[in-house]
């Protein structure tokens, strides 16, 4: 995984491009047992990095293709991903804050580093994680699986009798009101 030592960043900043191969990425993902996707292609990353006092500013882009599973029909599908990002990295302070502080919008784009180096590959992977859809769909019109027989409704319809879903308000239909 690609790291950058802070002393390697010149005053005018640094433009970097790097590639993480699939094997390296898959090994990294083993640290996250809850991850349910794979990288289909290497992860291409580029970033402009410069110092701002003790902090590091970073503007970059990541590009790859993932193998996701559709939440409706459960079929795996290819998901091309390209994303731009901006981050502010602050040195990690060892003391803990005494009081709780409400985060501002710019705080959401901040992260921390320690030990005089930045783990660029980890930052690139985090950007990929943030771009994965919450409910991945192979196609917007995916019909999913039949809840009775399990047949893929994208391929053909089934002959199962669909029970009309009973709403919590269906008991109200029987209620007679006097006017």
Per-residue pLDDT reduced to its tens digit, 95-146: 566 677 776 766 666 777 888 889 999 999 999 999 999 999 999 999 999 9
Which among 71, 91, 86, 93 is positioned nearest to 140, based on CA atoms? 71
27's tokens: 């090994």
In this prediction, residue 175 carries a pLDDT of: 76
User: pTM for the complete prediction?
Assistant: 0.76
In this prediction, residue 179 carries a pLDDT of: 65
Is residue 4's pLDDT more than 80? Answer: yes
Cβ partners under 8 Å of residue 107, min gap 6:
none
Backbone angles phi, psi at 109, to 5 degrees: -100, 20
Backbone angles phi, psi at 171, to 5 degrees: -65, -25
In this prediction, residue 13 carries a pLDDT of: 92
| Under 8 Å between Cβ of 6 and 56 | yes
In this prediction, residue 167 carries a pLDDT of: 66
Residue 29 half-sphere exposure toward CB, CA atoms < 13 A: 18
114's tokens: 């320690």
Mean pLDDT of 56-81: 96
Q: What is the spatial distance between Cα 167 and Cα 170, in angstroms, rounded to a whole number?
A: 5
101's tokens: 């502080």
């Amino acid at each position: 995984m690609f790291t950058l030592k802070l002393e390697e960043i010149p005053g005018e900043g640094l433009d970097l491009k790097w590639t993480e191969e699939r094997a390296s990425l898959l090994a990294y993902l083993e640290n996250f047992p809850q991850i349910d996707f794979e990288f289909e292609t290497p992860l291409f990353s580029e970033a402009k990095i410069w110092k701002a006092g003790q902090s590091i500013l970073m503007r970059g882009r990541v590009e790859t293709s993932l193998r996701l599973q559709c939440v409706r029909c459960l079929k795996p599908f290819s998901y091309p991903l390209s994303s731009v990002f901006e981050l502010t990295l602050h040195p990690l302070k060892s003391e803990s804050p005494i009081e709780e502080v409400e985060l501002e919008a710019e705080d959401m784009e901040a992260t921390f580093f320690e030990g005089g180096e930045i783990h660029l590959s980890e930052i690139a992977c985090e950007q990929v994680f943030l771009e994965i859809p919450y409910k991945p769909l192979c196609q917007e019109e995916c019909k999913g699986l039949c809840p009775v027989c399990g047949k893929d409704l994208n391929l053909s319809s089934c002959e199962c009798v669909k029970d009309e879903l009973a709403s919590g308000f269906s008991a109200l239909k029987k209620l007679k009101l006097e006017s």
